[in-house]
Structure 1
Amino acid sequence: MAKTILITGASRGFGKLWAKAFLKRGDKVAATARKLADLDDLVSEFGDQVTPIQLDVNNRTAVFEAVKYANASLGSIDVLINNAGFGLFGTIEETSEDEARQQIETNVFGLLWVTQAVLPIMRKQGHGHIIQVSSVLGITTLPTLGIYNASKFAVEGLSETLASEVAGFGIKVSLIEPNGFATDWAGASASQAKPMDEYAAVHAGFKSGLTPDIFGDPAATSAAVLKLVDSENPPLRLFLGKVAYPWAKQVYEQKLATWEEWNDVAVAAHGA
């Protein structure tokens, strides 16, 4: 049965790939982008099957209007994919106030506004699936991506809480946590803080680890996302790529070991 899907940030990368995958199998898609022209190829190929919407997710009023329009155009919103966002490269000290605020505004508040706008629709329907595009960097970190890491940690906490709040309305929540993929996320889509000489070694160390073998093929993710959307009991979390799980496992084993080592101190801090 065809689904109705709203995807933000569909101008390129994962958003564009997944929109095409849904459209090719017959779903109806409302796709948003900051520039409407970036959606012309979808409209040209799929016609009335796609509803293009110009949207800056940082504008809360515009978000609610866009979601209302999407619902009216599609007749329902079975699935929301909150994909809009970008990467900010720079150490914590290098990052300006404006850069940090813009990162959090888009990756966290933008996602929050779209989520809030779609919830009344899904509650009224009695069903829905909200898919938040997070990252493996929402559960562990890399240097020179501190504010981006923080934004995805926030998305993780927000979405895990949301899942517990809306389950009774028939609404499912999933977090997609990709490792690195060969998109332009680190290129034209990214923002770069002004580097400081003091952190040259940190930047060099980060770049030295970016070997080609760690990046997945973006096109290969579509099948996984289709399976997630079609699942009757979707997981709260889904990694994309072969790097994420072993990395996360190693990180959490280290965290557990540290908590265990200091547990006597922790218990004593509880008091009598």
Structure 2
Amino acid sequence: MTKTWFITGSSRGLGRAFAEAALGRGDSVAATARNPDALKALVRDYGESVLPLALDVTDRAAVTAAVDRAKFHFGHIDVVVNNAGYGLLGAVEELTERDLRDQMETNFFGAVWVAQAALPHLRGQDGGHLIQFSSAAGVVGMALGGGYAASKWALEGLSETLAQEVAGFGVKVTVVEPGGYRTEGAAGAVHAEVHPAYAKLRAGFAAHAAELDLGDPAAAGAALLALADAEEPPLRVFFGVQGLPMVEPVYTERLKTWRDWQGLSTAAHGTPEAA
């Protein structure tokens, strides 16, 4: 059964791979990008199966208009993919207020506006699937990625709550935490102004990044199709090979630390001494 998709950030990277995967199997896609010219190749290759839409997800009114137009054009929306976003690289001390606000406006609030615009349509048709793109950095903090992690941790918390709120309407929510892929993502990252105190840390980050085994975007596209077709999709899932091996020891250590320090809080509930 074919599906109709609404995919943000479709001009390049994973968003483009997702749009091509859906279109390649005969689905219809409302593909958004800040610059709609970047979507011309999709229209050329897939014709009327593509609805190209100019959209900056930080513009709430524009988001609502785009989602409404997609619903009117195709008649329904089955899968909404909140993919638009960008990386921010910088130590917490280096980040300006503008850096942080811009990051949250796109990665967090942009996803919120899309979800809020789509939910009335999904509820009205008794179902749909909202797929939120987070990151491995959405569950594990990493040096020089504090601003980015903050935006993704916020999205994770919101999405986990949202999944509980809309389950009764037949709407499913999945948070995807992708690892690194061979896309233009790194080129689109914003870099905070460098403080010399963190030069060594940046050098180590660059060396680590150069050694990463990056995945094929087409594989991510195939994974997204399988996720969208699942009868009971998970609330959270990793894409790629990096996420789970990185997160497993972190979660093990978190549980151990919480257990080790649990006595600190339980002691506070003891019988108070007499005055």
TM-score normalized with structure 1 length? 0.97
Q: Which residue is equivalent to 2:226?
A: 227
- Aligned CA distance change for structure 1 residues 269 and 13 (closer, same or farther; 3 Å): farther
**Deviation by residue 1:230-255 (Cα, 9 ceiling, x = unmatched):** 01110101101111111111100011
Alignment identity in percent? Answer: 50
Partners of 1:239 and 1:96 lie apart in 2 by 31
**Deviation by residue 1:20-52 (Cα, 9 ceiling, x = unmatched):** 110010101000000010100100101111000
Q: Number of matched residues?
A: 271
**Deviation by residue 1:150-194 (Cα, 9 ceiling, x = unmatched):** 11101100000000000000000001101122211111x111111
> Residue type of the partner of 2:93?
E
Question: Quick check: which has more Rg, 1 or 2?
Answer: 2
What value does the CA root-mean-square deviation take over the aligned residues? Answer: 1.1
Q: Which residue is equivalent to 1:25?
A: 25
Q: Which residue is equivalent to 2:106?
A: 106
Q: Which residue is equivalent to 1:218?
A: 217
Q: Alignment partner of 2:92: what SS?
A: coil
Gap runs ≥5 in structure 2? none
Query: How do residues 6-25 of structure 1 correspond to structure 2 at under 5 angstroms?
Result: 6-25=6-25
Partners of 2:181 and 2:142 lie apart in 1 by 15
Gap runs ≥5 in structure 1? none
> Residue type of the partner of 1:59?
D
Q: Which residue is equivalent to 2:64?
A: 64
- Aligned CA distance change for structure 1 residues 169 and 194 (closer, same or farther; 3 Å): same
Partners of 2:25 and 2:38 lie apart in 1 by 21
| Conservation of the 8 A alpha-carbon contact between 2:180 and 2:212 | no
Partners of 1:231 and 1:53 lie apart in 2 by 27
Partners of 1:267 and 1:151 lie apart in 2 by 33
Query: How do residues 115-134 of structure 1 correspond to structure 2 at under 5 angstroms?
Result: 115-134=115-134
**Deviation by residue 1:129-160 (Cα, 9 ceiling, x = unmatched):** 00000001000021111100111101100000
Query: How do residues 116-155 of structure 1 correspond to structure 2 at under 5 angstroms?
Result: 116-155=116-155
Partners of 2:168 and 2:192 lie apart in 1 by 43
Q: Alignment partner of 1:158: what SS?
A: helix
Deviation, structure 1 residue 270: 4.6
Partners of 1:270 and 1:56 lie apart in 2 by 51
Query: How do residues 115-264 of structure 1 correspond to structure 2 at under 5 angstroms?
Result: 115-187=115-187, 189-264=188-263
Partners of 2:85 and 2:194 lie apart in 1 by 22
Q: Alignment partner of 1:93: what SS?
A: helix
> Residue type of the partner of 2:253?
Q
